[in-house]
Amino acid sequence: MNNLKKIGLSALAGSLVAFSANAVEMGVSGTSEITYTTSSGNANPVTGNPFGSNTSVSFSGSGNVGWADVTIVRTINDGLGSAYLSAYQTMDMGDMGKISFDSVGGGLEGLTAYDDKLPTAYEEMWNGVSSSGIAGAASNDTLGYSNTYGGVGISLAYSKGGTAASADGSSAAEAVSSSTADWHLSYSVPQVEGLTLMHGRSSVNYTAAATNDDESSNTHIVYTAGPISAGYRMGELDKGGSGVDKEIDAMSIAFNVNDQLSISVGTQDTKYDRATTADTTETVDGLSASYTMGATSIRAHFSESSNDGGGATASAEYMEISLLLSF
């Protein structure tokens, strides 16, 4: 009898293992990158070792749980000084849309996911010397939702203040009590092939009575014809308190020379609106290139800024050359 019980339990365990293996598909991918980076200019002079590297391994699993197709992603990284490069999960409900929870690094939904969608061969034009100039719900335990209605793509995000990647059952502290709510719309114009319009807004609500809310908005017009893509972006950051408001105008053009080589150039002006001192305009110019051979990519990015960060005499220059191996 004991032997029969053992056989029965072994068969049951085997069937459960087989069921789990069939229900969930697991995958592993990774990258190894070596970079050569230099920074100069009076705003951010850097000397020392220009070489760096990063290796990341991404584990993903997907399966159907009855009401949704669930995907989980965990990317372990050794180059950023943190346990995760990204950690998130999505629940695709088909026509009812997709729900996501971005623990850290995913940048899945909301205005942050669309902060700069201008065509580029590698990095955004401002990389290394500036930023997109706007703010939205970051990857700090952020709830997201996306769907398409009548050809219009909608992306929503909501997050509370505090740190990212909080453990289950915890309640993370925050320096300032706040919440961030984003919405973003995208539309591919059917009458004009290759034309895409995008617009979104983000609002940071501070619960402290003495702190006013912050507002960000972002608009894109992107057009692609054959190997050429061009775009224009207009953004605005309205600091409800005593901070500096920003107005952003940017444009770029990218060209796919062939299936392996792409190049792009772009420029961005950010006007710093100050209440008590003179306004300044930061100008950033950037150039990117990328060459791909199978699983190997060689990328390069050059950018420079004047009036960097709104400083009247500040300047910065940045160069990055990358060798990326994917496996």
- The pLDDT confidence band at residue 27, using thresholds 50, 70 and 90, is very high
In DSSP terms, 12 is beta-bridged to: none
CATH code, residues 29-326: 2.40.160.10
The ranges assigned to domains in the chain are 29-326
C-alpha 57/C-alpha 54 separation (Å) is 10
- The pLDDT confidence band at residue 80, using thresholds 50, 70 and 90, is low
- Report the pLDDT averaged over residues 80-96: 83
Output the CA torsion sign for 308, 138, 246, 186.
Answer: positive
Percentage helix, strand, coil for the chain under 3-state DSSP, each rounded to 5 = 10, 55, 35
16: helix, strand or coil? helix
Given this model, what pLDDT does residue 82 score? Answer: 57
What are the pLDDT digits (tens) for 220-253? 999 999 999 999 999 999 988 778 899 999 999 9
Residues 6+ apart with CB under 8 A from 321: 35, 36, 37, 298, 299, 300
What are the pLDDT digits (tens) for 186-227? 999 999 999 999 999 999 988 765 567 899 999 999 999 999
What are the pLDDT digits (tens) for 119-172? 999 999 999 999 999 989 988 899 999 999 999 999 999 998 767 778 777 776
